Amino acid sequence: MARRPAPAGGARGRGDEHEAWGRPSKRGSRPRTKQRPEHTDAVVGLVTGVDRGRYTLLLDEGGSDERPVLAMKARELTRTRVVVGDRVDVVGDTSGDPGTLARIVRIAERTSVLRRTADDTDPYERIVVANADQLVIVTALANPEPRTGMIDRAVVAAYDAGMDVLLCLTKADLGSPEDLRGLYEPLGVDVVVTRPADEAAGSGTLALAPQSVEEVRDRLRGRVSVLLGHSGVGKSTLVNALVPGAGRATGHVNDVTGRGRHTSTSAVALRLPARPGGDDGGDGAAYDGWVVDTPGVRSLGLAHVEVAHLLQAFEDLDEAAQECPRGCTHLADAPDCALDDWLAAAPDEAARATREARLDSFRRLLASRTASV
Ligand SMILES: Nc1nc2c(ncn2[C@@H]2O[C@H](COP(=O)(O)OP(=O)(O)OP(=O)(O)O)[C@@H](O)[C@H]2O)c(=O)[nH]1
Ligand SMILES: [Zn+2]
């Protein structure tokens, strides 16, 4: 299991929108009961998709009456964001019959909140997914070349959100995973590698080696996992292998909207089949977990992450920095920063290379964060 610092600041405690019920209304203090209708007939749903004010929910997940339901937000939630992964209370027509529209009246407290800002200078933060356990950073070993800066940033965003990290290295036929393993396993990041099936060469669509797909599935089982990856890394190939029928196509242009699917940045939750091929094994336990695909989310801006929290995502540096002078910025030009001593004290060349990469990554992040303030 990946080790990580306690979610600094946490998913809660930062005035998340879902706490809006607890705040006094702008017009004064109306009694809480008036602000919060009881809706005792409400049923619980999981938000699996969001599209222009319409929410796709799954009701009675895993139960005998499981059904997708289309819903909108009740008026009292107008200013509250509802995102994929949210658990909500719904009222009205919850039959899921064609043409019906239920109403979302409450959002359950979130266990995690993955946020992004468009870039580091944009203070405007958006919630990408709620209640996810794990961020899966999908990175190709070559074509496109892996970028450690991007991986580091995603690691920081995940730790800030209180999520574990799985680094999924694709295209093992094109490159070796060892360098990246060496860089990330010491941080408590779990690493899994995928490769094409042997017979894939020459065939039209690329098939992944089933064993490597199952190694990924094992790590997603029973969890809510958000997949993040740059274009071309093989994320769609992986999602289609894990979730047959997901139809995550590359460069596909939607017939209805006429737009490429990547023009949308809204996430979609897909159920993870418990077994390869979606075979339910005859026992009804067809699904075991959720895979949240994030088309269009290429990187996670970190403007919302507090600088002090960054260090916590780098356990090795965090420990070394205990020796820093009070108020040390840890930047490259900081006088007497203990991180420089830590690098200089590397016992051998290999350790020095690893430490240097870590320190460079951390300082890159730190510099971009500081520049935005
Ligand atoms: N050599 C090799 N190619 C792969 C592998 N996995 C996927 N690809 C190829 O890489 C290209 C990109 O794969 P996609 O799955 O479309 O990548 P994506 O990350 O979904 O990209 P977008 O759809 O742009 O987000 C395709 O041509 C795949 O066939 C692999 O393990 N090895
Ligand atoms: Zn320092």
**pLDDT over 90 for what percent of the chain?**
49
pLDDT at 109 over 70: yes
- Residues with beta carbon < 5 A to ion ligand 2? 324, 328, 330, 337
pLDDT per residue over 182-221, tens digit each? 888 877 789 999 999 986 555 567 899 999 999 999 999 9
pLDDT at 256: 40
| Higher-scoring residue by pLDDT: 56, 250 | 56
Lowest-confidence pick of 158-162, 224-228, 290-294: 158-162
Q: Is 234 annotated as belonging to a binding site? A: yes
Tokens of 326: 């009070």
**Residue of higher predicted confidence among 49 and 121:** 49
Q: 5: CA distance to ligand 2 center in Å?
A: 19
For residue 186, the CA-to-ligand 2 centroid distance in Å is 20
Tell the CATH superfamily of the 17-107 domain: Nucleic acid-binding proteins (2.40.50.140)
Distance 319 CA to ligand 2 centre (A): 11
Whether 317 has a pLDDT exceeding 80, the answer reads yes
| Atom of ligand 1 minimally distant from the CA of 195 | 31
Among protein residues, the one whose CA lies closest to atom 10 of ligand 1? 234
ipTM: 0.97
Q: Which residues' Cβ are closer than 6 Å to ligand 1?
A: 170-171, 173-174, 194-196, 206, 229, 231-237, 250
pLDDT at res. 242: 95
Residue 351's pLDDT band (cuts 50, 70, 90): very high
- Kindly list the domain boundaries of the chain, sorted by start residue: 17-107, 115-293, 314-372
Q: Which of 2-11, 51-60, 165-174, 289-298 has the lowest mean pLDDT?
A: 2-11
| pLDDT (average), residues 214-231 | 95
Pocket residue to mutate for ligand 1, from 168, 205, 236, 242, most atoms within 8 A of Cβ = 236
CA angle 188, 190, 193 (to 5 degrees): 150
Fold equal for 17-107 and 115-293? no
Q: Any known ligand binding at 26?
A: no
The whole-number average pLDDT for the span 250-261 is 40
Q: Which residue has the least CA distance to atom 1 on ligand 1? A: 171
Ligand nearest to the CA of 235: 1
Alpha-carbon span 40 to 38, nearest angstrom: 5
Query: What's the full length of the chain, in residues?
Result: 373
195 contacts 177 by C-beta, under 8 angstroms: no
Ligand closest to the CA atom of residue 317: 2
| 223 vs 295: which has the higher pLDDT | 223
Report long-range pairs for 75-79 (Cβ below 8 Å, ≥24 apart).
Answer: 76/35, 76/37, 76/105, 77/104, 77/105, 77/107, 79/17, 79/20
The annotation status of 222 as a binding-site residue, yes or no, is no
Question: Which of the pair, 39 or 224, is modelled with greater confidence?
Answer: 224
Residue tagged 């109403």 (tokens): 103
Q: Among the ranges 57-61, 119-123, 149-153, 304-308, which has the highest mean pLDDT value?
A: 57-61
Say yes or no to pLDDT of 253 above 60: no
Asked if residue 256 lies in contact with residue 304, where contact means CB atoms within 8 angstroms, the answer is no
Q: Which ligand has the nearest atom to the CA of 335?
A: 2
Ligand nearest to the CA of 342: 2
Gap from CA of 310 to ligand 2 centroid (Å)? 13
- Least confidently predicted of 3-17, 37-51, 129-143, 252-266: 3-17
Tell me the pLDDT of the chain averaged across its residues: 81
Cβ–Cβ under 8 Å, residues 94 and 65: no
- What value does the mean pLDDT take over residues 138-153? 91
State mean pLDDT over 147-162: 84
Average pLDDT for residues 22-51, to the nearest whole number?
66
What is the end-to-end Cα distance of the chain in Å, rounded? 35
Name the more confident of 82 and 307. 82
Say what the pLDDT of residue 155 is. 86
Higher pLDDT, 253 or 123: 123
Index of the ligand 1 atom closest to the CA of residue 233: 19
Indicate whether 181 pLDDT > 70: yes
Q: What is the average per-residue pLDDT within 263-278?
A: 79
CA 326–ligand 2 middle distance (angstroms): 9
Assign 368 a pLDDT band (cuts: 50, 70, 90): low
pLDDT at 28: 43
Please state the three-class secondary structure of the chain as a single string.
Answer: CCCCCCCCCCCCCCCCHHHHHHCCECCECCCHHHHCCCCCCCEEEEEEEEECCEEEEEECCCCCCCEEEEEEECHHHCCCCCCCCCEEEEECCCCCCCCCCEEEEEECCCCCEEEEECCCCCCCEEEEEECCCEEEEEEECCCCCCCHHHHHHHHHHHHHHCCEEEEEEECCCCCCCHHHHHHHHHHCCEEEECCECHHHCCCCCCCECHHHHHHHHHHHCCCEEEEEECCCCCHHHHHHHHCCCCCCCCCCECCCCCCEHHHCCCCEEEEEECCHHHCCCCCCCCEEEEEEECCCCCCCECCCCCHHHHHHHCHHHHHHHHHCCCCCCCCCCCCCCHHHHHHHCCCCHHHHHHHHHHHHHHHHHHHHHHHHC
Q: What is the C-alpha separation between 26 and 47, in angstroms, rounded?
A: 29
Sign of CA dihedral 355, 357, 360, 361: negative
Instruction: Supply 368's token pair.
Output: 């971009």
Contacts of 23 (CB under 8 A, 6+ apart): none
CA distances from 138 to 15, 110, 194 (A): 31, 25, 10
Pick the CATH number of 115-293 from 3.20.80.10, 3.40.50.300, 3.40.50.20, 3.40.190.10: 3.40.50.300
Name the range with the highest mean pLDDT among 3-7, 63-67, 76-80, 131-135. Answer: 131-135
